[in-house]
Amino acid sequence: MKRNTLLAAAGAAAVAAAVAFGATPLVQASESARVQLASAEQMAAVKERQELMKSIGGNMKAIVDFLKESKGTAAEAQAAAAKIGELSQKIPAAFETEATLDEMDAVGKNRGKPEIWLNWEGFTENAKNLEAKSAALVAAFEGGDSGAIQTAFGDMGKNGCGGCHDDFRGPKVE
Protein backbone atom coordinates (compact mmCIF):
# COMPACT_ATOMS: atom_id res chain seq x y z
CA MET A 1 0.00 0.00 0.00
CA LYS A 2 2.68 2.39 1.04
CA ARG A 3 4.67 1.66 -2.11
CA ASN A 4 1.54 2.16 -4.27
CA THR A 5 0.86 5.60 -2.89
CA LEU A 6 4.46 6.49 -3.23
CA LEU A 7 4.62 5.41 -6.90
CA ALA A 8 1.43 7.20 -7.79
CA ALA A 9 2.77 10.38 -6.29
CA ALA A 10 6.21 10.14 -7.80
CA GLY A 11 5.03 9.19 -11.30
CA ALA A 12 6.56 7.25 -14.17
CA ALA A 13 10.16 8.01 -13.30
CA ALA A 14 9.76 6.32 -9.95
CA VAL A 15 8.12 3.29 -11.60
CA ALA A 16 11.03 3.01 -14.00
CA ALA A 17 13.45 3.29 -11.13
CA ALA A 18 11.61 0.63 -9.14
CA VAL A 19 11.71 -1.73 -12.15
CA ALA A 20 15.40 -1.00 -12.62
CA PHE A 21 16.01 -1.97 -9.00
CA GLY A 22 14.17 -5.25 -9.49
CA ALA A 23 11.05 -4.36 -7.52
CA THR A 24 7.66 -5.11 -9.08
CA PRO A 25 5.42 -2.10 -8.66
CA LEU A 26 2.11 -3.22 -7.18
CA VAL A 27 0.18 -1.01 -9.60
CA GLN A 28 1.48 -2.88 -12.62
CA ALA A 29 1.06 -6.29 -11.04
CA SER A 30 -2.63 -5.73 -10.34
CA GLU A 31 -3.28 -4.45 -13.86
CA SER A 32 -1.66 -7.37 -15.67
CA ALA A 33 -3.61 -9.84 -13.53
CA ARG A 34 -6.78 -8.82 -15.38
CA VAL A 35 -5.54 -10.31 -18.68
CA GLN A 36 -5.30 -14.06 -18.52
CA LEU A 37 -1.98 -15.18 -19.89
CA ALA A 38 -1.97 -17.73 -22.68
CA SER A 39 0.27 -20.76 -22.54
CA ALA A 40 2.90 -21.43 -25.18
CA GLU A 41 0.66 -24.25 -26.40
CA GLN A 42 -2.23 -21.84 -26.95
CA MET A 43 -0.03 -19.31 -28.74
CA ALA A 44 1.25 -22.02 -31.08
CA ALA A 45 -2.26 -23.39 -31.69
CA VAL A 46 -3.69 -19.97 -32.57
CA LYS A 47 -0.82 -19.30 -34.96
CA GLU A 48 -1.27 -22.70 -36.59
CA ARG A 49 -5.01 -22.31 -37.19
CA GLN A 50 -4.64 -18.79 -38.47
CA GLU A 51 -2.04 -20.08 -40.95
CA LEU A 52 -4.46 -22.84 -41.98
CA MET A 53 -7.25 -20.29 -42.53
CA LYS A 54 -4.87 -18.02 -44.48
CA SER A 55 -3.99 -20.92 -46.70
CA ILE A 56 -7.69 -21.68 -47.24
CA GLY A 57 -8.17 -17.96 -47.97
CA GLY A 58 -5.33 -18.01 -50.52
CA ASN A 59 -6.99 -20.84 -52.42
CA MET A 60 -10.29 -19.00 -52.24
CA LYS A 61 -8.61 -15.97 -53.79
CA ALA A 62 -7.28 -18.09 -56.66
CA ILE A 63 -10.85 -19.13 -57.46
CA VAL A 64 -12.15 -15.55 -57.19
CA ASP A 65 -9.34 -14.34 -59.47
CA PHE A 66 -10.36 -16.85 -62.10
CA LEU A 67 -14.12 -16.36 -61.87
CA LYS A 68 -14.21 -12.59 -61.51
CA GLU A 69 -11.05 -11.44 -63.24
CA SER A 70 -10.29 -14.25 -65.68
CA LYS A 71 -6.85 -14.73 -64.13
CA GLY A 72 -5.34 -18.20 -64.36
CA THR A 73 -7.01 -21.29 -65.77
CA ALA A 74 -10.11 -23.31 -64.89
CA ALA A 75 -7.84 -26.24 -64.04
CA GLU A 76 -5.99 -24.09 -61.50
CA ALA A 77 -9.23 -22.86 -59.96
CA GLN A 78 -10.49 -26.43 -59.76
CA ALA A 79 -7.28 -27.52 -58.07
CA ALA A 80 -7.70 -24.67 -55.56
CA ALA A 81 -11.23 -25.88 -54.78
CA ALA A 82 -9.91 -29.40 -54.23
CA LYS A 83 -7.19 -27.98 -51.97
CA ILE A 84 -9.83 -26.22 -49.85
CA GLY A 85 -11.52 -29.60 -49.38
CA GLU A 86 -8.23 -31.11 -48.28
CA LEU A 87 -7.46 -28.25 -45.89
CA SER A 88 -10.98 -28.34 -44.41
CA GLN A 89 -10.15 -31.79 -43.01
CA LYS A 90 -7.45 -30.18 -40.90
CA ILE A 91 -9.79 -27.68 -39.24
CA PRO A 92 -10.93 -29.81 -36.26
CA ALA A 93 -7.39 -30.78 -35.21
CA ALA A 94 -6.19 -27.18 -35.61
CA PHE A 95 -8.84 -25.96 -33.16
CA GLU A 96 -8.43 -28.64 -30.52
CA THR A 97 -6.52 -26.39 -28.15
CA GLU A 98 -8.91 -24.02 -26.46
CA ALA A 99 -8.10 -20.33 -26.57
CA THR A 100 -11.18 -18.17 -26.34
CA LEU A 101 -11.74 -14.54 -27.18
CA ASP A 102 -11.31 -13.65 -23.50
CA GLU A 103 -7.68 -14.46 -23.90
CA MET A 104 -7.40 -12.53 -27.15
CA ASP A 105 -4.93 -9.96 -25.87
CA ALA A 106 -2.66 -12.66 -24.66
CA VAL A 107 -2.68 -14.72 -27.85
CA GLY A 108 -2.34 -12.08 -30.50
CA LYS A 109 -5.30 -11.54 -32.79
CA ASN A 110 -7.23 -14.64 -31.89
CA ARG A 111 -10.78 -14.48 -33.21
CA GLY A 112 -11.99 -17.91 -32.13
CA LYS A 113 -15.23 -17.57 -30.17
CA PRO A 114 -15.84 -19.63 -27.00
CA GLU A 115 -18.73 -21.26 -28.94
CA ILE A 116 -16.18 -23.37 -30.82
CA TRP A 117 -15.53 -25.37 -27.66
CA LEU A 118 -19.02 -25.03 -26.19
CA ASN A 119 -20.50 -26.44 -29.41
CA TRP A 120 -17.65 -28.57 -30.74
CA GLU A 121 -20.00 -30.83 -32.69
CA GLY A 122 -21.57 -27.88 -34.48
CA PHE A 123 -18.15 -26.47 -35.24
CA THR A 124 -16.76 -29.68 -36.72
CA GLU A 125 -20.00 -30.13 -38.69
CA ASN A 126 -19.25 -26.79 -40.35
CA ALA A 127 -15.82 -28.11 -41.36
CA LYS A 128 -17.49 -31.19 -42.91
CA ASN A 129 -19.99 -28.92 -44.61
CA LEU A 130 -17.15 -26.96 -46.23
CA GLU A 131 -15.60 -30.20 -47.40
CA ALA A 132 -18.87 -31.22 -49.09
CA LYS A 133 -19.33 -27.81 -50.69
CA SER A 134 -15.79 -27.68 -52.04
CA ALA A 135 -16.35 -31.17 -53.53
CA ALA A 136 -19.52 -29.85 -55.21
CA LEU A 137 -17.48 -26.98 -56.64
CA VAL A 138 -14.83 -29.39 -57.97
CA ALA A 139 -17.63 -31.39 -59.59
CA ALA A 140 -19.08 -28.23 -61.14
CA PHE A 141 -15.67 -27.36 -62.60
CA GLU A 142 -15.51 -30.85 -64.05
CA GLY A 143 -18.94 -30.37 -65.61
CA GLY A 144 -17.72 -27.14 -67.15
CA ASP A 145 -21.03 -25.25 -66.96
CA SER A 146 -20.20 -21.70 -65.90
CA GLY A 147 -23.62 -21.10 -64.30
CA ALA A 148 -23.27 -24.24 -62.18
CA ILE A 149 -19.72 -23.21 -61.22
CA GLN A 150 -20.89 -19.75 -60.09
CA THR A 151 -23.73 -21.29 -58.08
CA ALA A 152 -21.50 -23.86 -56.37
CA PHE A 153 -18.90 -21.19 -55.68
CA GLY A 154 -21.46 -18.82 -54.16
CA ASP A 155 -22.85 -21.61 -52.01
CA MET A 156 -19.41 -22.57 -50.74
CA GLY A 157 -18.48 -19.00 -49.87
CA LYS A 158 -21.76 -18.07 -48.24
CA ASN A 159 -22.62 -21.30 -46.47
CA GLY A 160 -19.31 -23.16 -46.33
CA CYS A 161 -17.08 -20.30 -45.10
CA GLY A 162 -19.64 -17.71 -44.02
CA GLY A 163 -21.80 -20.15 -42.06
CA CYS A 164 -18.93 -21.02 -39.77
CA HIS A 165 -17.55 -17.49 -39.54
CA ASP A 166 -20.98 -16.13 -38.55
CA ASP A 167 -21.28 -18.49 -35.60
CA PHE A 168 -17.73 -19.13 -34.53
CA ARG A 169 -15.53 -16.21 -35.53
CA GLY A 170 -15.42 -13.04 -33.50
CA PRO A 171 -14.95 -9.46 -34.72
CA LYS A 172 -11.72 -8.37 -36.34
CA VAL A 173 -9.01 -7.48 -33.86
CA GLU A 174 -7.20 -4.26 -34.71
The neighbour count for residue 91, using CB atoms within 10 Å, is 20
Q: Which is nearer to ligand HEC, 18 or 127 (CB)?
A: 127
Beta strands in the chain (DSSP E): none
Task: Report in angstroms how near the CB of residue 32 gets to ligand HEC at its nearest.
Answer: 23
> How many CA atoms lie within 13 Å of 31's alpha carbon, on the beta-carbon side?
6
Residue 14 or 115 with smaller CB distance to ligand HEC: 115
Distance CA 123, CA 130 (A): 11
Nearest distance in Å: CB 165, ligand HEC: 6
Number of H helices, E strands in the chain: 10, 0
Q: CA neighbours within 13 Å on the CB side: how many for 62? A: 19
Residues that bind ligand HEC (CB under 6 A): 46, 49-50, 53-54, 56-57, 60, 84, 91, 110-112, 123, 126-127, 130, 160-161, 164-165, 168-169
Q: How far is the CB of 49 from ligand HEC (least distance, A)?
A: 5
* Least distance CB 172 / ligand HEC (angstroms): 9
